[in-house]
Amino acid sequence: MADTTRQNVVFILTDDQGPWAAGCCGNQEIRTPNIDRLAAAGVRFENFFCASPVCSPARASLMTGRIPSQHGVHDWIRHRNMPPNAARYVEGFTCYTDVLAEAGYTCGLSGKWHLGDSAAPQHGFTSWLTIPYGGSQYNDAEVVRADGSVEVAPGYLSDVFTDEALRFIREHAEETFYLSVHYNAPHSPWEGHPPEIVGSYDGCPFKSCPQEAAHPGARPWMRRHLGDRESLKGYFAAVTAMDLGVGRILDELESLGLRRSTLVVFTSDNGYSCGHHGFWGKGNGTLPLNMYENSIKVPFIVSQPGRVPEGRVTPAMMSQYDFMPTLLDYVGLPPLRDEALPGASFLPVWLGERDEARHEVVVYDEYGPVRMIRTPEWKYVHRYPYGPHELFDLVNDPDERRNLAGEQSRRALVGEMRARLARWFQRYVVPQMDGLRTGCTGVGQADRIDDEHPAEDACPDEPMYTTS
């Protein structure tokens, strides 16, 4: 009989998966039977938000429970990922894996890290298989092991990560374990995916990804994907191929009798648009940087049969900075006693006891000098110092087509939301880490923010024709 008193955790994190990119999220074109199976066996959040709409800061916020202007990761990390000049970008902060490891969990990583120093296990991880940088080719890719060695892993990368995850589960099945499975799918490149899966989308009309007229701020190097069916097929195929890995992990947990003793979480680092609003990308898919719903929202599912209710969909608004306190609460560990942490435990929502964990839920986001406040009805985006600013009525304009920030009738609301936004960030921002001091334009973070590398120099404004 399975041990149902243990709370193992399998945390599946994808890369650049839009909130629309799964069947259980209402998309009838993309095939994700195993993500859908997980949602049917758990609670799915319709409104789960990343703390910043780009990979490295979002991942740092998940791990630390802090916002970018507290941990200092403000853009995707493009330098100092590997020796000899590797830097650890969340060094000095407590991650939830540190807490789990101290409590006796065996912690493993299979997949993308992208928080610096990919050659060395950190923050409680003892098992470690990652990629050197933030992106990778999908076939015969380079991987890094716990001893720092770099080798070519034969085969398709999503399968490589799944195989390593299965090995870890089997090896530690008699222990209490935490496993991060960080797929790089469906991150670009949208080529090199299993040809039979790519071909299966030949006849897809892609109505879920309207190829709109180019956004005026669309990044030049991403415009070529607008209207390109091969890119759409590649993106969809990357998701479907990754979904097969999710199914293999669920099957393995069930075959070992671990499913009822294991919490499985599925989410993505940031959202993505594939032609929506006239661009491909996330928060840095446009300049000025954007806070569209497709950029800031991600799929989020929690499942553990016998504890988490099955087939439930909640409208609760939860952020990545809420994940750490909720997870520690779920596994019965005390919260970190740190008033600087902005998040709250959403355990009652995970357990199906109520749809909101706080009296009035407001979500905040940031990406360098761009900040957002979002209520269930309204979204206000403030771009420091000069704008343009945006106000969207999400009830009557859920697709964010009409910017009301300049309308006289909304002047009082804009003032109220701007003041509320400023108060919240003033409460939590660490001045040294303040995103308003960066020159962040979405082309990558050059260095770790510390005494030698102040925030002003972290995100230099120089051309870089790739995004991560």
pLDDT (tens digit per residue) in 377-406:
999 999 999 999 999 999 999 999 999 999
- How far is it, in rounded angstroms, from Cα 61 to Cα 40? 27
Q: Answer with the residue of higher pLDDT: 174 or 357.
A: 174
Q: CA 190 → CA 14, 138, 216, 296, distances in Å?
A: 15, 9, 24, 21
Q: Which of 241-250, 354-363, 423-432 has the lowest mean pLDDT?
A: 354-363
Q: Which residues of 2-39 are buried (b: 16+ CB within 10 A; e: fewer)?
A: eeeeebbbbbbbbbbbbbbbbbbbebebbbbebbbbbb
- How far is it, in rounded angstroms, from Cα 58 to Cα 146? 24
Residue 358 in this model has a pLDDT that exceeds 70: no
pLDDT in tens, 137-185: 999 999 999 999 999 999 999 999 999 999 999 999 999 999 999 999 9
CA atoms within a 13 Å half-sphere pointing along the CA-CB vector of 201 = 24
Query: Average pLDDT in the 37-44 region?
Result: 98
Give the pLDDT confidence score for residue 453 in this predicted structure.
Answer: 77
Give the pLDDT confidence score for residue 361 in this predicted structure.
Answer: 79
- How far is it, in rounded angstroms, from Cα 252 to Cα 181? 14
Residue 2 in this model has a pLDDT that exceeds 60: no
Residue 465 in this model has a pLDDT that exceeds 50: no
Query: Average pLDDT in the 331-347 region?
Result: 94
Please report which helix (H) or strand (E) contains residue 241, including its range.
helix 229-255
Query: Quick count: other Cβ atoms within 10 Å of Cβ 109?
Result: 28
Strands annotated E in 385-449: 390-393
Query: Average pLDDT in the 446-468 region?
Result: 66
Mean predicted lDDT score pLDDT of the chain: 94
- Contact present, 369 and 384 (Cβ < 8 Å): yes
Domain residue spans in the chain? Answer: 8-360
Q: Tokens for 122, please give them.
A: 């950190």
The neighbouring-strand residues paired with 379 are 374, 392
Strands 106-111 and 363-367: unpaired
Q: Write down the residue that tokens 């003892």 correspond to.
A: 126
Strands annotated E in 138-240: 139-145, 150-156, 177-182
Residue 14 in this model has a pLDDT that exceeds 70: yes
The highest-level CATH class for domain 8-360 is alpha beta
Residue 462 in this model has a pLDDT that exceeds 60: no
Give the pLDDT confidence score for residue 357 in this predicted structure.
Answer: 56
Strands annotated E in 174-284: 177-182, 262-268, 273-274, 280-281
Query: Average pLDDT in the 65-76 region?
Result: 98
Give the pLDDT confidence score for residue 467 in this predicted structure.
Answer: 39
pLDDT in tens, 202-219: 999 999 999 999 999 999
pLDDT band at 466 (very low <50, low <70, confident <90, very high): very low
Q: Write down the residue that tokens 């006239």 correspond to.
A: 278
Q: Which of 13-17, 304-308, 464-468 has the lowest mean pLDDT?
A: 464-468
List Cβ neighbours of 140 (8 Å cut-off, separation of 6 or more). Answer: 152, 153, 154, 155
pLDDT above 90 as % of the chain: 91
